[in-house]
Amino acid sequence: MNMIWNIVFVYLWTVFVIPAEFRKLCPASVQTPIRIKDPDDCTKYHLCVDMREFIVTCPEHYVVNERSLKCVPEGSVFDTCPAEEKWRRDLCLRYPNITLQHPYNCAKYLVCDPAAPKGSMARIEECDFPYLYSPVSGRCKHYSVVQCGQRFQPKSHCEYDKYLCKHAHCPPCFLRHPSCHGLPEGLNPWPGREGTPFFLVCREGRVRYSGQCPDTPTSHQVFDPYRNICVEKHPKDNSD
């Protein structure tokens, strides 16, 4: 254990290390220290030590090589940082306290934190469904009052990154959150749950309501996809 903490101590002399309180990329426990590249910022990697996780930031003008997971000189032959990530870092170097719309996705926006270490990239944030980012107000607003222009406009939970599975044992997003993609206006069966009590109401390509048919001790109903109404799962035989 002492050797493990000595390794962390060495890192403190060369890079900026902080505990990862919110990002949890490391396994629950590791036998030896491992590194995991940060998915959003090529100047950072996550150091997994025992049951702790640290975010490691490379020195200025250095980036993380995606193969060796070590800090390498920016612009060298070992630099594997995508151009889009470099653009996000240059943005914060120029404007360290700016928030602006994402260039491609209407539900996302970029945030430069003046308290972050120098050279940090703009952080990508995402609105909750069904909100979109308004560059006019600088806040997430209801989709009906936001103009997206040519940027992608997500219309379902599963088109927002935050609702996708983060681990292997997570039920698929379409089973947790229905989508109206390709469906007509009004009542529809829940895609992927046909033949069950679950249904949804579509309006303007978005789910306005999702629910299920009554299920009581005396009535077990399912949603009929042909008549778009709740019907008895096993109709009673009223004949004598």
- For the stretch 72-109, what's the b/e string if a residue is b when 16 or more beta carbons lie within 10 angstroms of its beta carbon? bebeeeeeebeeebbebbebbeeeeeebebbeebbbbb
- Which ranges in 63-189 belong to alpha helices (H)? 83-94, 173-176
> pLDDT digits over 91-146, tens only?
888 898 999 999 899 999 999 988 887 777 888 899 999 999 999 999 999 999 99
β strands within 102-235, DSSP E: 108-111, 123-126, 131-134, 139-142, 186-189, 198-203, 206-212, 215-216, 219-224, 229-232
Q: Give how far Cα 36 sits from Cα of 24, 84, 226, Å.
A: 11, 20, 49
Q: Which tokens go with 149?
A: 């222009």
Q: Which tokens go with 213?
A: 């048919």
Q: Which tokens go with 170?
A: 């997570």
- Please report, rounded to a whole number, the percentage of residues in the chain having pLDDT higher than 90: 40
Rounded Cα–Cα distance for residues 209 and 211 (Å): 7
Give DSSP secondary structure letters for 41-68: -TTEEEEEETTEEEEEEPPTTEEE-TTT
Q: What is the pTM of this model?
A: 0.64
pLDDT in the model for residue 25: 75
Q: Which of 160, 158, 131, 128 is nearest to 145 (CA)?
A: 131
Q: Which tokens go with 192?
A: 């992927």
DSSP state of 105: B
39 compared with 161, residue with greater pLDDT: 161
> pLDDT digits over 169-180, tens only?
778 888 888 999
> pLDDT digits over 50-96, tens only?
777 888 888 888 889 999 999 999 889 999 988 877 888 888 888 98
Residue 1 confidence (pLDDT) above 70: no
Residue 23 confidence (pLDDT) above 80: no
Query: Omega into 130 within 30° of 0, i.e. cis?
Result: yes
Contact predicate 111/80, CB 8 Å: no
Mean per-residue pLDDT for 208-220?
A: 88
Domains and CATH numbers, the chain: 2-73 (no CATH), 83-154 (2.170.140.10), 175-232 (no CATH)
Q: Give how far Cα 198 sits from Cα of 177, 184, 225, 228, Å.
A: 11, 17, 10, 11
